[in-house]
Amino acid sequence: MSARIGRRSAKIINGDRFSRNFTLTQESTGSRDSDGLWIDGTQTSTTLKGSVQPSTDKERLQLPEGERASEAITVYINTTDKDAISPIKVGTTQADSDIITVDGLNYAVRSVTPWFDFGHLQAIAVRLEGQNG
């Protein structure tokens, strides 16, 4: 039964009616060179396709208390897209989170839930402050 549901959810997530392109920006961890000098990590941006929706009140409960009133989105990514990227990094600040960009607005990833039995994963992200739009 879960395979049938997985195929159905993949159609919804990747279908033209409900899906859209967005960008996932990830930064690799920095390191020290042989002289002990810090070298910043590199930034990689990947365009993905999935379902992007406003987060529900129930989904907001997964956010830290101080961010539950912030604008938040829930993104469903098909697992085939996930295979092309490194694991999504969840953080508590902009500096330690992966960033999802939708319509020119940046959102920091705060929660990732794998729904592999249903063919996708769910990411909840909050809008970063100081953006017009």
Residue 99: closest CA among 73, 117, 121, 79: 73
What structural domains and CATH numbers belong to the chain? 2-28+42-127 (2.40.10)
Measured from the Cβ of residue 32, the count of other Cβ atoms closer than 10 Å reads 9
| Phi, psi of 10, rounded to the nearest 5 degrees | -65, -40
Instruction: State how far the Cα of 39 lies from the Cα of 13, in Å rounded to an integer.
Output: 38
| 63-117 tens-digit pLDDT | 888 888 888 999 988 766 556 566 788 877 667 889 999 999 999 999 888 877 7
Q: What is the pTM of this model?
A: 0.78
CB–CB of 104/98 below 8 Å?
A: no
Q: What is the spatial distance between Cα 5 and Cα 129, in angstroms, rounded to a whole number? A: 37
DSSP strand pairing (38-39 vs 31-32): antiparallel
Summarised one tens digit per residue, pLDDT across range 13-27 is: 556 667 889 999 988
